[in-house]
Amino acid sequence: MAARGVHDPDVWWHLRAGQEIVASHHVPRQDSFSYTRYGQPWIAHEWLSEVLFYLIFRITGWAGLMIAFAGVIGATFLLLYRQCAGRPYIAGLVTVLGAIATIPSWGVRPQMFSLLLAAVFLDLLGKADRSNPSHLRFLWWMPLLLVLWVNLHGGFLLGPALMAIVLTGWLVQAWLGLESWPHAWARLRRLGVVLAACLAVIPLNPNGLELYRYPFQTLQARTIVDYIVEWASPNFHSVDFKPFLGLLLLTWLVVAASRKRLSPTQILLLLATAYGGLSAARHIPIFVLVAVPILAAGLDELAARRNWFSPAEEKSPAPAKLVFNLVLLLAVAGLTGARFYQAVKGQAAGEARHFPQAATEFLIRKKVPAPIFNYYDWGGYFIAKLYPQYRVFIDGRTDLYGKLMDTFSDTARGQGNWQEALEKYQVRTVVVPPTSGLAGLLRLDAGWKKEFEDEQAVVFVRTGG
């Protein structure tokens, strides 16, 4: 399922940023890609991911990026599957359902590193939650992993947040008398020290102390929620979110029907991540990481209690079945290879279908006058293809642009005082979709001349001063 083409609008500016970092041996602290925010402070919180993007792409091209990130996604769900106790076929089916529920968030994007590291943190916390005291030593991997995480993606705060929820769950468990305080104290003290260590290593990044504040600024930014679809609540009328809705309802149904009691920690994790997934679509994968092991354990208990599977099915498979499994595995591997081949082969066509490829070639060939007003989804593509000859009006770094998102939206739709931004920034070329409101208005404006148009984009150049 993860073998797919690369069509995320942000991948382009990630590649360019990685190229600039590798060439200059310096992580940027100010914006240089746009003319609207040129020289303004920019927190490049994904710098290490961007370096990896560029190095993989330079060595292996699109095929390497597709395989690498499919590997990250596959590793995440392999780890999730291994956290599921009970019958492997139940665990496998539930893991696949969880994977399907998270497909809308998949892609060649730094967020996939957060998904993998969140799965690792939950695995380590799950080991520490068991009765074996020796498992507490696994917690010391967390500060080391967080140093990596804080340089890969801005979602690093999820790690300490999960630790804090588990710590609270352990406290509740001891307070309710489900565990003796002397026994609980060793775990509470160890996790508290590790949590403090994790918080202490956050400044080990090129932006230093700024990353303490950055995640909270992002979560509170109105423009991100208003304009970025995955930061909005999931729309259950959309087919993309039906699997998440099914997983959510099935999890609560099985929890209610199963005799397997959840621990306070599991309840808190389930409630917190369900709230997160219902608040913003991009948080759905975190709910899946928590819900899948709980759902698998509940279904396994129900299956055992109701004798849904005969004892014969639990025996070791016969040699004929082993051969069949091997053939099936090879068939799936072949299908996956074929999907990768098709994805790589179709990448150029996909680029032309999702981005203004022909219009970009026209801009380069005709050397149109700058500044350029560009469509939001194309900003990263223009950074990759036109920088440094041209800088963009806006791109996918929503945290950098802030209220300029409102200005862009009004201008692109031709609403309100739509001419103000074009005059303020002395825009001389406009590149937008042919169906946009701005395109319709400029077709009727004698001060602008249409120079190029295809199904993807239309280019207008100012005729007057």
Q: What is the tens place of the pLDDT at every residue in 264-306?
A: 999 999 999 999 999 999 999 999 999 999 999 999 999 888 8
Residue finishing a domain among 282, 314, 346: 314
**pLDDT of res. 252:** 95
DSSP-assigned beta bridge partners for residue 463: none
Q: Do 177 and 251 fall within a single domain?
A: yes
- Kindly tell me if the per-residue pLDDT of 313 is higher than 90: no
- Kindly tell me if the per-residue pLDDT of 128 is higher than 90: no
- Kindly tell me if the per-residue pLDDT of 334 is higher than 70: yes
Q: Give the integer Cα–Cα distance in Å for 113 and 255.
A: 30
Q: What is the DSSP letter of 368?
A: P
In a domain? residue 143:
yes
Residue finishing a domain among 314, 344, 363: 314
Q: Do 295 and 387 fall within a single domain?
A: no
In a domain? residue 243:
yes
In a domain? residue 254:
yes
Q: Do 307 and 359 fall within a single domain?
A: no
Q: Do 296 and 397 fall within a single domain?
A: no
**pLDDT of res. 136:** 81
Alpha carbon separation from 133 to 38, 186, 269, 403 (Å, rounded): 54, 9, 22, 51
- Kindly tell me if the per-residue pLDDT of 317 is higher than 90: no
For residue 346, name the pLDDT band (cuts at 50, 70, 90). very high
- Kindly tell me if the per-residue pLDDT of 135 is higher than 90: no
Q: Do 359 and 274 fall within a single domain?
A: no
Predicted confidence (pLDDT) per residue in 367-408, tens digit = 999 999 999 999 999 999 999 999 999 999 998 999 999 999
- Kindly tell me if the per-residue pLDDT of 316 is higher than 80: no
In a domain? residue 271:
yes
In a domain? residue 244:
yes
For residue 464, name the pLDDT band (cuts at 50, 70, 90). confident
Q: Which domain holds residue 100?
A: 11-314
- Kindly tell me if the per-residue pLDDT of 312 is higher than 60: no
CB burial readout 38-68, b (16+ within 10 A) else e: eeeebbbbbbbbbbbbbebbeeeebbebbbb
Q: Do 250 and 371 fall within a single domain?
A: no
In a domain? residue 177:
yes
Q: Do 117 and 20 fall within a single domain?
A: yes
Q: Do 382 and 272 fall within a single domain?
A: no
For residue 165, name the pLDDT band (cuts at 50, 70, 90). very high
Q: Give the integer Cα–Cα distance in Å for 159 and 418.
A: 43
Q: Do 193 and 44 fall within a single domain?
A: yes
Predicted confidence (pLDDT) per residue in 62-93, tens digit = 999 999 999 999 999 999 999 998 889 999 99
Predicted confidence (pLDDT) per residue in 173-226, tens digit = 989 888 888 878 888 999 999 999 999 999 999 999 999 999 888 878 788 888
* Residue among 403, 421, 401 at smallest CA distance from 411: 421
Q: What is the DSSP letter of 431?
A: E
Q: Do 295 and 381 fall within a single domain?
A: no
Residue finishing a domain among 314, 338, 371: 314
Rounded to an integer, the average pLDDT of 8-27 is: 96
Residue 263 backbone class (left: φ over 0; alpha: ψ -120 to 50; beta: rest): beta
Q: Do 302 and 410 fall within a single domain?
A: no
The residue whose two tokens read 């993989």 is 56
Q: Give the integer Cα–Cα distance in Å for 172 and 181.
A: 11
Q: Do 361 and 296 fall within a single domain?
A: no
Q: Give the integer Cα–Cα distance in Å for 288 and 5.
A: 24
In a domain? residue 1:
no
Rounded to an integer, the average pLDDT of 219-235 is: 86
- Kindly tell me if the per-residue pLDDT of 44 is higher than 80: yes
Give Cα 66 distance to the centre of its chain: 15
Q: Are strands 448-453 and 458-462 parallel, antiparallel or unpaired?
A: antiparallel
**pLDDT of res. 343:** 94
**pLDDT of res. 79:** 97
- Kindly tell me if the per-residue pLDDT of 310 is higher than 70: no
**pLDDT of res. 131:** 59
In a domain? residue 337:
no
Dihedral sign for Cα 99, 101, 107, 110, please: negative
- Kindly tell me if the per-residue pLDDT of 115 is higher than 70: yes
Supply the pTM of this predicted model.
0.92
- In the chain, pLDDT over 90 holds for what percent of residues? 82
Q: Give the integer Cα–Cα distance in Å for 253 and 82.
A: 23
Q: Tally the domains of the chain.
A: 2
When the pLDDT of each residue in the chain is averaged and rounded to a whole number, the result is 93
